[in-house]
């Protein structure tokens, strides 16, 4: 009988703790809606024998596109006041002759009034394309893309490296996600 009471007491304590976890768990709250463009960037560098450094976004980026929910997760410590749009550029692992800087392979580029909204090279920062927002539409290179539109742009350029000149090719597929909800979530621990 005393063993049964111990089991019942442990079950009750477990239920109370589980209830507190559910009740006190930080919840996401809605932030301002933003125009979101996502991009998948396949980048190459030649010749293979020459290495160049690259900036593939910050370590522990505070932005995540949640495809299943069609929502943008943003860590709550990010100031979104005045932000109208976001370009979230994802890179698969680059070739071995591009030095990885330890980033998350996600480069956010924010649109605020009065500043250009540009896609830049992760190698030397040069502007590859400029976007213009009009409501939920994006115009680039004279063509306007509405919500749901997908388009591809190819960029080829050369950069100087200590070992010589390197030819860079970026094949980027963009998608206008339209105006999306932002979910502000507690900042996550980042190692």
**Contacting residues for 187 by C-beta, under 8 A, at least 6 apart:** 62, 75, 76, 77
pTM, full prediction: 0.80
Measured CA to CA, the distance from residue 74 to residue 155 in angstroms comes to: 29
In this structure, the strands spanning 85-90 and 106-111 are antiparallel
In this structure, the strands spanning 63-66 and 71-75 are antiparallel
**Domain range list for the chain:** 28-185
Altogether, the residues listed in the chain come to a count of 191
pLDDT in tens, the chain (191 residues): 566 666 666 667 666 555 444 444 445 577 889 999 999 999 999 998 889 998 888 888 888 888 888 888 888 888 888 889 999 999 887 778 888 877 778 889 888 887 888 999 999 999 999 999 999 999 999 999 999 999 999 999 999 988 889 999 999 999 999 999 888 889 877 76
Measured CA to CA, the distance from residue 57 to residue 54 in angstroms comes to: 9
């Amino acid at each position: 009988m005393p063993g049964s009471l111990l089991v019942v007491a442990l079950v009750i304590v477990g239920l109370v703790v589980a209830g507190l976890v559910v009740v006190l768990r930080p919840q996401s709250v809605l932030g301002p809606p933003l125009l979101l463009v996502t991009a998948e960037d396949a980048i190459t560098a030649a010749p293979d024998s020459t290495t160049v450094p690259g900036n593939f976004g910050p370590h522990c980026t505070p932005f995540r596109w949640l495809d299943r929910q069609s929502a943008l997760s943003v860590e709550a410590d990010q100031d979104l006041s005045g932000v109208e749009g976001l370009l979230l550029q994802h890179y698969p692992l680059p070739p071995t002759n591009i030095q990885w800087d330890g980033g998350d392979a996600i480069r956010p580029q924010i649109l605020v009034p009065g500043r250009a909204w540009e896609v830049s090279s992760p190698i030397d920062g040069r502007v590859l394309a400029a976007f213009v927002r009009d409501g939920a539409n994006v115009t680039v290179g004279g063509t306007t893309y509405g919500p749901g539109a997908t388009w591809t742009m190819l960029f080829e350029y050369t950069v100087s490296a200590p070992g010589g000149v390197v030819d860079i090719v970026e094949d980027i597929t963009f998608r206008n996600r339209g105006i999306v909800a932002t979910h502000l979530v507690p900042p996550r621990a980042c190692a």
